[in-house]
Structure 1
Amino acid sequence: MFNSVYAGRRVLVTGHTGFKGSWLVYWLQKLGAEVCGVALPMPEAHNHFALLDMKIRSERCDIRDSAGLRRIFDDFQPEIVFHLAAQPLVRLSYREPVETFDCNVMGTVRVLDACRSTPSVRAIVAISSDKCYENREWVWGYRESEPMGGYDPYSASKGCTELVISSYRRSFFNNADYGVRHHTLLASGRAGNVIGGGDWATDRLVPDIMKAAAAGKEVEIRSPEATRPWQHVLEPLSGYLALGGKLWEGDTRFAEGWNFGPADDGVITVKDAAAALSREWGAIQISLKPPKDAPHEATLLRLDCTKARSELFWHGTWSPAETFAHTAGWYRDFYRAGKINTEQDLNDYINSAEKENLEWTK
């Protein structure tokens, strides 16, 4: 799998205790990697990383702490770096704009600079967001060549993050100088709305729905007509891992920005996504009453993933029905019986990808 790139490799993941990060380090461990995670303390009552009880090196460090990062990098000497740490919430960015820009932009600067100062680093995949694009509310998907932008502080911070990544790539990890002046390749990954078990963040659709269902309460859905590209968390992670593998192998063609999103049938409204979840778990009760004072959020957003499909030979594996079923089933089984379906979901996903003969499964 992934051409056995990760077996025995030292892989550092920032934000490893977060939703996507916890799934990523779980998968990396299964691939035989030696993993070091860097993150802030875990704030949620439930935390997916803690529930998995993985025996990996786990460092508590703010990515804005340059000295702390350097100590970890110097000691661990990572070969591959996945940068996921961020302030990930749109609504929180309205309340804490300075914190959002500081974490997402300057945090990325410090992580990339730690990579630049660590000779062992050969591949860097920095994770951004589909919200990095200047949103024109187009009906077609945004391509990797579209301009960066952002209305709200979170989206703007992700646009800025992409500019930082581009600057570091051109200034310090220039593809034309690879193998001569440096030996590190840098790419960025931009994913759509990622869902799946183990997310308990505040002010996000799936966690809000699942926490309310577990408590026997109704949940109000904001922006029910907003359209989003929904995908299970394992979908973009397979893309990030495939991308990291290409960078490790020294293929400069892949040291660019990449979109990882669902097919067109995965681009549906918030209202329809909530209804799909409720069909999988009867305890979910939904009220479509968007608050009048809600801050601005994008109404229509989708990604064009033609580049990933044609050059990386990556595409989504699970249908929307499978995505919502695995997501709702994870929470249903956890709240009803304390069962954690992470390993089963990963195995099911890999089996589905193998049936489609996707390149990364080899």
Structure 2
Amino acid sequence: MMSKDHKTEELGTPKNSSSPIIVTGAAGFIGFHVSRRLANAGFKVIAIDCFTPYYALELKEARWAELAKIKALQLERIDIADASAIAKLFADHKPERVIHLAAQPGVRRALVEPQPYIDANITAFLNILEACRHNNIQHLVYASSSSVYGANRKFPFSEHDNVDHPVSLYAATKKANEAMAHAYSHLFGFAATGLRFFTVYGPWGRPDMAVYAFTDAIANGREISVSNAGKVWRDFTYIDDIVEGITRVLDKPTAPNPDWDATNPDPATGAAPHRIYNIGNDNPEELNDLIGLIERALNRKAIRKDVPLPPGDVLETRADISDLRNAVGFAPSTSLEKGVEQFVSWYRSYHTL
């Protein structure tokens, strides 16, 4: 189990102590928590976001206001799809490490509105890679997704398995990010690490994700749509565990691998200083169990409506986290029961219930 006392010790100091860490998507769920953790640990952070209206902007503004209270944070409203704005930001601040979490999220929205996924997940990511290329970045840590496993049926999902069968556009853009990062890392020599997130939840979370959406509906007496009669399993991962993993990875850039064998390639590695890791709880929970925990925390019963599994969704996700555990000592320690309790406590406070 990861010790709370060890957290700031794991995060090393950049060669240039005045060099900030850039975090993109800082008004988003994970980006907010990462920015706050780094700044509270004493690091100078340039936190950027463009406030896309994928969900209520009031929540993003509330996170932004919380970050504004921290002196070590500099907040910038910048669209990373604007190549010139990103180039100027990097040139002005000369960061040595970058955590790229900004993206257009969501599997289902891309079915009806695909263009934002290309703009935010492909074009914007290219701008980040170009900025890293031209500014001597030591390490780029970027968000991928468990969605890349798509039609895979081998469990748990391993980084060493092939992921050539995405079942959503969102997943396809994240797989493209991994390929783009590997190419840039190989061509220009900077370290890059992709993290495949597995169903992250917790305080300040996204309203479209199951934990938040079900809590909000049950608390307000609304019906919830339950896919496949609740016989769906997700590797729910609490935000504090995710942030701990990200900060540990940031301090462990990958070295080039001269022994990599192109005739027997491993999807998780390569000759370049690029690596991919799963970051999840390694303990899938049934959707019915999640609903039961929310009901207990709220002391209210859900009004359920059974619906088919939506297109692009999968029945089960589970992360093999052995590589990340071996590399940085990653060991998630928050049970779903405890995590739901903490989320519902935050929900009551934020919504003044």
What TM-score bracket applies, with the shorter chain setting the length?
0.7 to 0.9
Counterpart residue number, 2:193: 187
Does 2:283 align with 1:260? no
Counterpart residue number, 2:322: 306
Give the aligned residue type for 2:340: F
Does 2:51 align with 1:46? no
Cα displacement (A) at 1:198? 0.9
SS of the aligned residue for 2:251 comes to helix
Cα displacement (A) at 1:217? 2.8
**Contact 1:232–1:327 (8 Å) recurs in 2:** no
1:10 aligned residue (3, 10, 20): 20
Q: Deviations over 1:233-281 (max 9, x none)?
A: 121221111011112xx755784111111133xx012222222222212
Counterpart residue number, 1:172: 188
Distance 1:286 1:123, change over 3 A: farther
Distance 1:93 1:75, change over 3 A: same
Aligned residues: 319
Does 2:202 align with 1:229? no
Counterpart residue number, 1:155: 171
**Contact 2:107–2:312 (8 Å) recurs in 1:** no
SS of the aligned residue for 2:347 comes to helix
**Contact 1:80–1:123 (8 Å) recurs in 2:** yes
Cα displacement (A) at 1:106? 2.3
Counterpart residue number, 1:210: 215
**Contact 2:114–2:169 (8 Å) recurs in 1:** yes
Cα distance in structure 1, aligned partners of 2:74 and 2:63 = 12
Cα displacement (A) at 1:29? 0.9
Counterpart residue number, 1:124: 140
Counterpart residue number, 1:351: none
- TM-score w.r.t. structure 1 length? 0.81
SS of the aligned residue for 2:351 comes to helix
Cα distance in structure 1, aligned partners of 2:300 and 2:347 = 11
Cα displacement (A) at 1:49? 1.6
- TM-score w.r.t. structure 2 length? 0.83
**Contact 1:228–1:270 (8 Å) recurs in 2:** yes
Counterpart residue number, 2:339: 323
Identity %: 23
SS of the aligned residue for 1:124 comes to strand
2:99 aligned residue (55, 73, 82): 82
Cα distance in structure 1, aligned partners of 2:131 and 2:89 = 9
1:1-150 to structure 2, matched below 5 A, reads 1-6=8-13, 9-41=19-51, 43=53, 44=56, 45-47=58-60, 48-54=62-68, 55=70, 56-119=73-136, 121-138=137-154, 140-148=155-163, 149-150=165-166
Distance 1:82 1:286, change over 3 A: farther
Give the aligned residue type for 2:59: H
Give the aligned residue type for 1:19: F
Cα displacement (A) at 1:137? 3.0
Distance 1:325 1:51, change over 3 A: farther
Cα displacement (A) at 1:324? 1.9
Between 1:219-228 and 1:8-17, the stretch displaced more is 219-228
Cα distance in structure 2, aligned partners of 1:11 and 1:101 = 26
Between 1:44-53 and 1:60-69, the stretch displaced more is 44-53
SS of the aligned residue for 1:90 comes to coil
Cα distance in structure 2, aligned partners of 1:110 and 1:306 = 32
Q: Deviations over 1:43-89 (max 9, x none)?
A: 42323523524342222222111111111111111121000000111
Cα displacement (A) at 1:17? 0.5
Distance 1:104 1:284, change over 3 A: farther
**Contact 1:11–1:81 (8 Å) recurs in 2:** yes
Q: Please, which runs of 5 or more residues in structure 1 have no aligned partner?
A: 174-183, 338-362
Give the aligned residue type for 2:239: V
1:238-317 to structure 2, matched below 5 A, reads 238-247=244-253, 255-264=274-283, 267-283=284-300, 285-290=302-307, 294-317=310-333
**Contact 2:223–2:305 (8 Å) recurs in 1:** no
Q: Deviations over 1:274-309 (max 9, x none)?
A: 22222212246341422x594331112211111112
**Contact 1:210–1:284 (8 Å) recurs in 2:** no
**Aligned Cα RMSD in Å?**
2.3
Cα distance in structure 1, aligned partners of 2:255 and 2:113 = 39
SS of the aligned residue for 2:80 comes to coil
**Contact 2:282–2:318 (8 Å) recurs in 1:** no
